[in-house]
Structure 1
Amino acid sequence: MSTTLNNQLWASADILRGKMDASEYKNYLLGLIFYKYLSDVELREVYEQENGQTIEFPEREEQFKILKDWYDEDKDDLEEIMRLQRGYFIAPEQLFYHFRQKADAYEFRLVDLQSGFNDLERQGEQFSNLFADIDLNSTKLGSNDQQRNVTITEVIKALDEIDLFEHNGDVIGDAYEYLIGQFAAGAGKKAGEFYTPQAVSRIISEITSIGQENRAPFHIYDPTMGSGSLMLNIRNYVHDKDKIHYHGQELNTTTFNLARMNLILHGVDKNRMRLKNGDTLDSDWPTEEPHQFDAVVMNPPYSAKWSAAEKFLSDARFERYGKLAPKSKADFAFLLHGFYHLKDTGTMGIVLPHGVLFRGAAEGVIRKALLEMGAIDAVIGLPANIFYGTSIPTTVIILKKNRDNRDVLFIDASNDFEKQKNQNMLRDSDIEKIIRTYKSRENVERYAHLASFEEIESNDFNLNIPRYVDTFEEEEPIDIIALSQEIVDINQEISKTEQEFLSMLNQLAVTDESREIIEATKRIFGE
């Protein structure tokens, strides 16, 4: 990943920073970067159509001239080719580069940018309502049209200075991920709605891909996908990333739009992207094929409320467990939804608060049923304060179907982290230790324990990690003789220092006032 590109993009946020919260201005900046990316891709595509594939591109001024000439000569032909090659077409007067030219000439108008957004949104389902959360009339951009125009003009100028294509690899997608993470850091509680820290994503992605690295096509599902980051991480562990199909659902419309942008910027074409804006628990989705997946990954909202209506007792996702997750804590509802959509050969990873491991009543019944069928493969305790927006410790639960045993691997990774200014951070070595321990599936003193079903049953199906992994370390015994000698030595040093101090007092020039101070001091030291 290019640090230079990251810094350039983040610096562009300075124009909006201070005008509104990070949770708000992220929509403007990420939306404009996405629009610039599509615009610049179009310029390059047209140049290659005219000149053949190349690794060297001329300045955008020349690229724009080629596109404009073709457009003036045969608009329909150009539009047809772009839609065929890229799935969209942006008219020359709506390209980001053209808006920059207008900005330099002090002729840029917000209505033209809004028109560009609107026209792109009409070009198929993948762009529908994509820019709905960018309010160009917001008073936070300025109190009147002129001030708002100036604000967006400055953002356009700053972003247009950045060459999104001068770096190798999938850099723009990674830079977008970086920005999402930066926004999450400043978004407080709202951050949890759209971002799972990369370290946690890596743990879940690597574990769920074990034994499936060569599977193609590979189908991954995230029913609470946020920005899509957790799904996208699987690309680092599946060998043929161009055959990964992404299936995701998100309730928050703003976050749903962010996920769509994120996947497109990572080069995911529309045929491998099936995303829905909706309530995961309220009605099951997907119900059409494929409805079960090679990997299910989830970081749902913790202890959220849901209806827990009686109708769900006959819902295929929940009916076999006899009980529903309580209304005040939907954690197990999310878990069972994801597990229902897991293939028999697949692996699921979900992040949840520790309460799911030991709470009783309905949750205890569900947990027991899962353990009896051998569904819970591993429980991994993570450090506190590693998520944006919450400081609570969390656990990653790994689930599988049709296992040949019912043991559970417990890993207590809660003490392995680097403490940073505002958060704790999982280091590469910490993550590698977790993965290594998961793969070996062996006991590690004060870190991991492989518990048999009988052992878990004897604990009344309570999965609280300290019951299985003892991390207590006895303090070293105190050497009383050495401690006594140390006290004697300290007292001798204090006495010596007092004598030296009193000697210095006797050498001072004496006045009536100072004599009183000296005498008082000697009385304090017992002389």
Structure 2
Amino acid sequence: MAIKKTELYSSLWASADSLRGGMDASQYKDYVLTLLFMKYVSDKYKGDPYGMIDVPEGASFDDMVRLRGDKEIGDKLNKIIGALAEANDLKGVIDVADFNDEEKLGKGKDMVDRLSDLVGIFGKLDLSSNRADGDDLLGDAYEYLMRHFATESGKSKGQFYTPSEVSRILAKVVGINQDTSQDATVYDPTCGSGSLLLKVNDEAPRGLTIYGQEMDNATSALARMNMILQNNATAKIWKGNTLADPQWKDGNGQLKTFDFAVANPPFSSKNWTSGLNLTDDEFARFTWGTPPEKNGDYAFLLHILKSLKSSGKAAVILPHGVLFRGNAEARIRENLIKQGYIKGIIGLPANLFYGTGIPACIIVIDKQHANARTGIFMIDASKGFIKDGNKNRLRSQDIHKVVDVFNKQIELPRYSRMVNLAEVAGNDYNLNIPRYIDSSEPEDLHDLTAHLQGGIPNADIDALGEYWQVFPTIRQSLFQPTRPGYSEGLVEANQVKPTILAHPEFIAFADKSLLPFKNWADSAPLSQIQIGDSPKTLIFELSENLLNAYADSPLLSKYDIYQILMDYWADVMQDDVYVLVQDGWAAGNRLRELVVAKGEKLKETPDLMIGKAKYKAELIPPGLVVARYFAEQQAQIEQQQTELDAISQQLETLTEEHSGEEGLLNDAMNDKDKVTKASVTARLKHASDAEEIALLKQASRLYEDEAKAKKTLKDSQETLDKAVLAHYAGLLEAEIKQLVIQDKWLATLESNIIAEIERVTQQLANRVKELEERYAEPLPQIENNVNALSAKVAEHLKAMGLEV
């Protein structure tokens, strides 16, 4: 059975949870990722003589499972990992974590229990059916773990990981296209866990030849594992200090040059000169200037520049300071600009990275077209993000917009522009983005004349011009001119939105705005999904087509619509498609019974319960089956629920009215000061007052009616649940497709797009309401109201014998 991404992620994070306490995330990541690697290669290559990885006898994950409960489990795990490392030239890569470290894993039974649990979590996963290509679950799972480890490691230890969203931008703007050869080389001198290199590699149609270097020993090991997990075992990753001891050299001892380079160097490194002779650098990297001794940002950039071929291209993440700092850095910056090396600059939001909260930028280098360069293309993308815990994160739409705008050189107000080199020179080669792009929103100015004389300024109404182009007569319904330059509102502020929603122009707009979605849905190849398909290819085609479908829709942002699909893909649709491409549409017939071992808690929320049995639907929630095939029974149950609620409400009202200190049901309260069926029955046996007896009998009847209604409802629900359970097995493929595609996916997406259409309208309504309330009372009217109220107060004081 296929593993869903969310299930895999939760299992992997549960493994991390089991290690908490003895070490921090920057340490326990090594244990978790080593076991993930062992499990993957064992499932994938055990017994395969032609496999990429040789799994020797006694060195598989199955051998690890047999050690659960063994008193020497830590030492024996080390030996199993060591044997696999020895057989595959992976010494110092997969055997970095010490599974026999008592300081981190505990002593005696604590270590045995902890490691047994850890191995047990991975033992439940079956990774043999997941392909190791661009769609591989393991690659995404590795990214998931890296992100969470970086989050938990904090600023001091989170620099091993570049957020995948930022990596995607670098990969897409560095210059790779459909003609890029597999022999083309890509280099990252500070490659960390390798995720940035892999993102770039995925952009090339046939992949690239990968080179990387990483100073930290454990992190370079992670990079090697990452490469193997994502089917890039031939990638060349070296450990060592790139600036002081670069590994990759040509036959003459000079730096090897590459077609592409990407990097996220440590920001403003204070010890970059360690091991370097700055006065006589053997690689001549500092031709354009020597960076400050206590700030290595330009040292890495110059190293990358020297490591590029004459046609080479690069994208490098650096702090904003490199754009405007003076002295030595200013001279380097001026020289690079004059050489034409800088193609573009992309300003990113603050607080994206795990090692620092400062804002960064992407410097895009292009040697090939340097001589002809007349300008630098700049983007201020600092406002496009969402909050994610204590960090900011780029959304899919933010990434797509940056890439579209940069690659197509699209100039957008307050977002992007091509800056002529002459203008840059006029600013003393300062590249600080706000000098060239004012991304601030226009100030909302108040009209003093309107405050004094009343009326809404036409200038403010005209500023909503994009709406009036679509809704010309709605404007006439909301405003009418009063005097030159001013109008008055025709609708009460709280009626603005209902007026807009009910207007024929809005209804027509809403219908028209759904047409691109409906046309897209009709042409989307969702029903053609089959075993072996690529989910990532599918969502790329679907999302691009939807984006293009809304390219010319008035008022609606195509990127907002795109985000609706990408969010739903991440939350629901992705899991469904991964199931379909591995198990086929027959997965729609499947309900999985949730079995919990003794002493464990149920980790999943059941979709259906029959008696004590609990079931989880693989693809189709029971509610969809009920809505399509059992609507009449469901309506009956809802009616029964309504009747039960009415009886319960009557009973609650009766007991509340008559159970106080003076109430006739006071004597029927139990020890918990509560009226119950049992207490009413007991009181009836002793009651003598006719009124009390009548009331008790009424309460007793209501309790009986409530019990009968509950039983009727329960029986009906159980009958329906059993019918639904039985119905799953008989669903035909066409019915499964109808339920999944139409009733689940497209119905949800359409609902979300309708909500987006209404959100656009809400923006208009809010602004109109704001203007009407702002200028509702001019100053003279306020003064008159104040005077009238003051006179009333004076009259009241006089009546009280107090003269003012």
TM-score of the two chains, using structure 2 as the length reference:
0.54
Q: Which deviates more from structure 2 when the two are superposed, residues 458-467 or residues 307-316?
A: 307-316
Query: Which residue is equivalent to 2:98?
Result: 134
Contact in 1 for aligned 2:291/2:299 (Cα 8 Å) = yes
CA gap of 1:490–1:35, structure 2 versus 1, over 3 A, is farther
1:229, 1:494 → 2: CA distance?
Answer: 67
Query: Which residue is equivalent to 2:121?
Result: 158
Matched, 1:113 2:77: yes
- 1:396-427 per-position Cα deviation (integer Å, ceiling 9, x unaligned): 00001131224111111111212333122211
CA gap of 1:162–1:211, structure 2 versus 1, over 3 A, is closer
Aligned length: 463
Query: Which residue is equivalent to 1:250?
Result: 214
Matches within 5 A, 1:486-501: 486=777
Measured after TM superposition, the shift of residue 135 of structure 1 is 4.8
Matches within 5 A, 1:327-476: 327-403=293-369, 404-476=372-444
Of residues 222, 239, 245, the one that matches 1:283 is 245
Matches within 5 A, 1:214-233: 214-233=180-199
Measured after TM superposition, the shift of residue 442 of structure 1 is 4.1
- 1:57-100 per-position Cα deviation (integer Å, ceiling 9, x unaligned): xxxxxxxxxxxxxxxxxxxxxxxx4xx633433323x3221221
Of residues 260, 269, 284, the one that matches 1:295 is 260
Q: Which has the higher contact order (CA 8 A, sep 6+)?
A: 1
Measured after TM superposition, the shift of residue 443 of structure 1 is 2.9
CA gap of 1:498–1:382, structure 2 versus 1, over 3 A, is farther
CA gap of 1:176–1:472, structure 2 versus 1, over 3 A, is closer
Query: Which residue is equivalent to 2:751?
Result: none
Matches within 5 A, 1:166-177: 166-167=129-130, 169-177=135-143
Contact in 2 for aligned 1:245/1:273 (Cα 8 Å) = yes
SS at match of 1:85: coil
Of residues 8, 21, 38, the one that matches 1:35 is 38
Of residues 103, 109, 124, the one that matches 1:146 is 109
Measured after TM superposition, the shift of residue 475 of structure 1 is 1.3
Matches within 5 A, 1:39-50: 39-43=42-46, 46=47
SS at match of 2:363: strand
SS at match of 1:134: coil
Letter in 1 for 2:78: Q
- 1:438-458 per-position Cα deviation (integer Å, ceiling 9, x unaligned): 122243221112112211111
Q: Which deviates more from structure 2 when the two are superposed, residues 436-445 or residues 489-498?
A: 489-498
Query: Which residue is equivalent to 2:63?
Result: 98
Measured after TM superposition, the shift of residue 288 of structure 1 is 2.8
Measured after TM superposition, the shift of residue 387 of structure 1 is 1.1
Letter in 2 for 1:33: L
Contact in 2 for aligned 1:379/1:408 (Cα 8 Å) = yes
CA gap of 1:482–1:37, structure 2 versus 1, over 3 A, is same
Contact in 2 for aligned 1:371/1:406 (Cα 8 Å) = no
Query: Which residue is equivalent to 1:2?
Result: 5
Contact in 2 for aligned 1:251/1:277 (Cα 8 Å) = yes
Measured after TM superposition, the shift of residue 352 of structure 1 is 0.5
CA gap of 1:315–1:157, structure 2 versus 1, over 3 A, is same
Runs of 5+ unmatched residues, structure 2: 453-775
Measured after TM superposition, the shift of residue 372 of structure 1 is 1.0
Measured after TM superposition, the shift of residue 191 of structure 1 is 4.5
Measured after TM superposition, the shift of residue 347 of structure 1 is 1.4
SS at match of 1:189: coil
2:18, 2:235 → 1: CA distance?
Answer: 33
Letter in 2 for 1:424: N
Contact in 2 for aligned 1:139/1:148 (Cα 8 Å) = no
Query: Which residue is equivalent to 1:14?
Result: 17
SS at match of 2:114: helix
Contact in 1 for aligned 2:26/2:158 (Cα 8 Å) = no
Contact in 1 for aligned 2:93/2:225 (Cα 8 Å) = no
CA gap of 1:494–1:182, structure 2 versus 1, over 3 A, is farther
Q: Which deviates more from structure 2 when the two are superposed, residues 393-402 or residues 207-216?
A: 207-216
Query: Which residue is equivalent to 1:88?
Result: 54
- 1:447-488 per-position Cα deviation (integer Å, ceiling 9, x unaligned): 112112211111111111111112233313203355465476
Q: Which deviates more from structure 2 when the two are superposed, residues 475-484 or residues 255-264?
A: 475-484
Letter in 2 for 1:121: A
CA gap of 1:498–1:15, structure 2 versus 1, over 3 A, is farther
1:218, 1:440 → 2: CA distance?
Answer: 23
CA gap of 1:261–1:481, structure 2 versus 1, over 3 A, is same
CA gap of 1:25–1:405, structure 2 versus 1, over 3 A, is same
Of residues 261, 277, 301, the one that matches 2:225 is 261
Query: Which residue is equivalent to 2:285?
Result: 318
Contact in 1 for aligned 2:78/2:99 (Cα 8 Å) = no
Letter in 2 for 1:156: V
- 1:338-394 per-position Cα deviation (integer Å, ceiling 9, x unaligned): 111112223100000011111111111111111111000101100011111311110
CA gap of 1:526–1:17, structure 2 versus 1, over 3 A, is farther
2:446, 2:282 → 1: CA distance?
Answer: 61
